[in-house]
Amino acid sequence: MKTLFLLLTSFLLFFQTHDLQTVRNNYPAANLSKANADSFKTMVAKTSSSDPVFRGYRAASEIISAKFMKGSERKTALTAGIKLLESTIAANPAQAELRFIRFSIQENLPKIVNYRSKITEDKNFILKNYSRQNSGLKNYMREYLKSSKGLTAAEKASLK
């Protein structure tokens, strides 16, 4: 019975990891077009709602989708996405990937949206905890951070 439980748990963890990698691979392109944003939103809607990282990407999908909406629909989606992201981070403040998601969102939103208050805090958290992350997450974050306008050349050089 224990063996069956271990196999089932391993199977589920494997597919969750695979799903996370797929979400990570599609996240950067979600911002490029409405079709990509819609596809990303559909993808993350099918992921685990209990996992905080997936909730973070779900929040990001709402915020990104708002870019391609108009009027009150845009404001509603943006507000819902920000609220979900902030509540997820508040419940999981030590989760580096959530901080990375918020950093990337805040860095790319127009200043008029007025959602930029945590950029420095998140950048410092990411840099401080970068070396503690698994190699897959480090590579993923490094790809984005190397081109980020929010990091200095010295900070970018420290990412190994």
What digits encode the pLDDT tens for the residues 50-107?
899 999 999 999 999 999 999 999 999 999 999 999 999 999 999 999 999 999 999 9
pLDDT-derived band at 49, boundaries 50, 70, 90:
confident
- Asked whether the predicted pLDDT for residue 6 surpasses 70, the reply is no
Q: Which residues of 121-138 are buried (b: 16+ CB within 10 A; e: fewer)?
A: ebbebbeeebeebeeebb
Domain residues of the chain, as ranges?
25-157
pLDDT-derived band at 3, boundaries 50, 70, 90:
low
- Asked whether the predicted pLDDT for residue 150 surpasses 70, the reply is yes
Per-residue pLDDT at 11: 43
Tell me how far apart the alpha carbons of residues 65 and 78 are, in angstroms, rounded to a whole number.
8
Please provide the CATH number assigned to the domain covering 25-157: 1.25.40
The share of the chain scoring above pLDDT 70, in percent, equals 89
Average pLDDT over residues 20-33: 95
DSSP for residue 109? S
